[in-house]
């Protein structure tokens, strides 16, 4: 029989070997994982602007074709970086960690946000990245606004662990199709964002319906999370929008 010392040594060596193998595999796979994340991000941005037939194979090419400008703004609405060169995944704007920047905002610290400019069919479309909290974890997405920075062109939403058939419906077309044509400023120019309303918007006054969408049935908390995400992120761009005149 093997002694206890032998068994412990053997187990220790195996643990070290397995840890080394897993660590090496993670380091080897990291560039591929980062590339996949970048491609997913590009697909979501392009989809928000209504650009169709984007696949993992052509996402980088189409992203560099349609995205003409990538801007970084600070909390004062000032442009601190403006990238128009090729290989736009290398820009500062593309690499911004929105979670960290929104954390800085919540703690009254300086923060920076990205803005993607797309040219499509002769029109300028502004893409604002989004991030918030749903029922079970983070939610995220992109909202595309016309050049007036008021009217929604389209949205994309994603989630980590929302309930299938309920909160997870934010990632499906029926919910996302409610947003095009909605506006984030009222007629007086006041920022109002877009609210997700439980019980539907059909009974609201017409002037309010233009700033609201129907909540997901059975997904009240996730719907509220989308409302809060839009409010929190979009209001951060108001100083920049106001500086544009």
How many CB atoms are located within 10 Å of the residue 5 CB? 8
Domain ranges of the chain: 68-244
Say how far apart CA 66 and CA 84 lie, in whole Å: 11
Q: Which residues contact 168 (CB under 8 A, 6 or more apart)?
A: 159, 162, 219, 222
- Is residue 161 a contact partner of residue 139, using CB atoms and an 8 Å limit? no
Q: Which two tokens stand for residue 43?
A: 């697909």
Q: Which residues contact 103 (CB under 8 A, 6 or more apart)?
A: none
Q: Look at the chain and count its residues.
A: 245
| 233: helix, strand or coil | helix
Say how far apart CA 115 and CA 237 lie, in whole Å: 9
Single pTM value for the model: 0.86
Q: Which residues contact 67 (CB under 8 A, 6 or more apart)?
A: 45, 88, 116, 117, 118
DSSP one-letter code for 216:
P
In a structure prediction context, what are the per-residue pLDDT tens digits for the chain, which is 245 residues long? 556 666 667 677 777 777 677 666 666 656 656 678 899 999 999 999 999 999 999 999 999 999 999 999 999 999 999 999 988 999 999 999 999 999 999 999 999 999 999 999 999 999 999 999 999 999 999 999 999 999 999 999 999 888 998 999 999 999 999 999 999 999 999 999 999 998 889 888 888 999 999 999 889 999 999 999 999 999 999 999 998 86
Say how far apart CA 232 and CA 86 lie, in whole Å: 31
């Amino acid at each position: 029989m093997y002694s206890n010392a032998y068994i412990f040594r053997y187990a220790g060596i195996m643990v070290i070997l397995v840890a080394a193998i897993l660590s090496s595999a993670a380091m080897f796979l990291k560039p591929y994982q980062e590339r996949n994340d970048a491609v997913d991000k590009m697909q979501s941005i392009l989809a928000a602007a209504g650009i169709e037939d984007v696949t993992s194979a052509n996402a980088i090419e189409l992203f560099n074709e349609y995205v003409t400008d990538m801007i970084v703004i600070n909390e004062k609405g000032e442009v601190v970086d403006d990238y128009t060169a090729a290989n736009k995944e290398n820009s500062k704007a593309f690499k911004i960690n929105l979670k960290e920047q929104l954390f800085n905002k919540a703690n009254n610290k300086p923060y920076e946000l990205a803005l993607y400019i797309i040219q499509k069919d002769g029109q300028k479309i502004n893409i604002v990245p989004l991030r918030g909290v749903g029922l079970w974890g983070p939610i995220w997405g992109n909202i595309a606004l016309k050049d007036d920075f008021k009217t929604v062109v389209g949205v994309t939403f994603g989630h980590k662990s929302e309930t299938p058939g309920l909160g997870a419906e934010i990632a499906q077309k029926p919910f996302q199709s409610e947003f095009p044509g909605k506006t984030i400023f009222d007629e007086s120019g006041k920022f109002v964002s877009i609210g997700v309303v439980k019980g539907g918007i059909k009974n609201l006054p017409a002037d309010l319906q233009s700033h609201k969408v129907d909540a997901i049935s059975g997904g009240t908390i996730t719907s509220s999370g989308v409302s809060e995400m839009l409010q929190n992120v979009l209001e951060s761009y108001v100083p920049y929008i106001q500086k544009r005149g």
